[in-house]
Copies of this chain bind each other. A is one copy, B any other.
Amino acid sequence: MEQSKRSITIRDVAKKSGVSVSTVSRVLNGKVDVAKTTKNHVLKIIDELGYSTNLAARSMRSQKKNLIGLIMPDIAYPYAIEIMKGVNQAIAESEFDLLVYTSGDVRKRGHVTSEQKYITLLAKSISDGVIVVAPVASEYNIDKPIVSIDPVMSNPTYPSVHATNYEGSTEAMEYLIGLGHQRIGFIGGRVELESANQRLAGYRNALEKAGIPIDEQLIVSGDYTTKTGIEGGQRLLLLEDRPSAIFASNDQMAMGVYQIAEKLDLQIPGDFSLVGFDNIPESKYLGLTTVDQFISEMGYAATQMLIRIINEVPEENQTLKIRTQLVVRNSCRPYGEKKN
């Protein structure tokens, strides 16, 4: 791609105002040791030329950028959006601006291994610190603070915000068991995810504690998408001995189960009960019983944590846990009622 007109640089400004580049730089950075006359003149030229700093160049030289990077594999799914809402709020309250980086699709990054590196890089080059969502790498040799949300490792070496996946899952199961359910289906996430394993662990332990034998047939796995929720739900609901309840380990999948139940003409509750996890707005409208994951809280907390670290330079290698909470909502329409 050819660029006909070159950007106007600090040099152009210097030339036109008849001063040196260093002087212009000083004006630009509000240094005190510039004569008022010179300053005003340069400012005028800057305005005339419509000059604006090249951040890339600047950030190569100076330290503080007032910029925080948020790195996400994908930006369009509900979980990501909730995180961003939280981060966004913390950013709005701060003196920092936000740069969200994404490759648009989880799958795209799989190809190039260096992608991971590349991504981190970018943020590190031009920001004061980064927030990484669900990172897979455990090591980031970065010279900037980094806070992660829901990392794959349960004990990363950098500060992180974790959801209480295990506790939440346990709570959800206790709720269902309390309702009298004995056969409870589980739809899990990908095994690479720490969160998925913890949720599954909560499922297993709750059953064990209740003295209910575990039927491996009732455990199916998905990948936190509605699609796999539909598949998993179908598989469970078409079993000879259908479970009387399903615990979908995230809301997206719960919505999938919801859809397939409609198609199979099954009532919720009635034919079976359904509980989701990771409350997202849509599920509210479907009246799903859900474990509230305070997703946006995590974004908010992580951002504040990062800002504190940036500003106060402490060795804050802490871990923050955001509690889950079982929220039982009334449905906005009777479960299973047909749309027409």
Contacts and interface: CB of A to CB of B under 8 A. Distances in A.
Nearest to A54: B125
Nearest to A98: B102
A57 B54 CA distance: 11
A21 to B, nearest CB: 16
B286 A50 contact: no
A117 B52 contact: yes
A281 interface: yes
A4 B103 CA distance: 31
A104 B120 CA distance: 21
A92 interface: yes
Nearest to A60: B56
A121 B59 CA distance: 12
B1 A311 contact: yes
Instruction: Name the interface size band of chain A.
Output: 35 or more
A117 B50 CA distance: 9
A89 B124 CA distance: 25
A333 B333 CA distance: 6
Interface stretch (A136-144, A159-167, A235-243): A136-144
A1 B310 contact: yes
Contacts of A141: 8, 50
A45 interface: no
A340 B330 CA distance: 7
Interface string A109-140: 00000100111111011101000000000010
B53 A56 contact: no
Interface string A143-165: 11000000000000000000000
A81 interface: yes
Interface string A76-90: 100001001100111
Given A1-B64, A75-B84, A88-B104, A120 B56 contact: no
Interface in A27-65: 50, 52-57, 59-60, 63-64
A332 interface: yes
Contact of A52 (B59, B103, B121, B286): B121
23 contacts: A1-B310, A1-B313, A3-B143, A5-B143, A52-B114, A53-B118, A53-B121, A53-B125, A56-B57, A56-B60, A75-B98, A88-B102, A88-B104, A90-B104, A91-B102, A91-B105, A97-B101, A98-B100, A98-B102, A98-B103, A99-B99, A282-B285, A333-B337
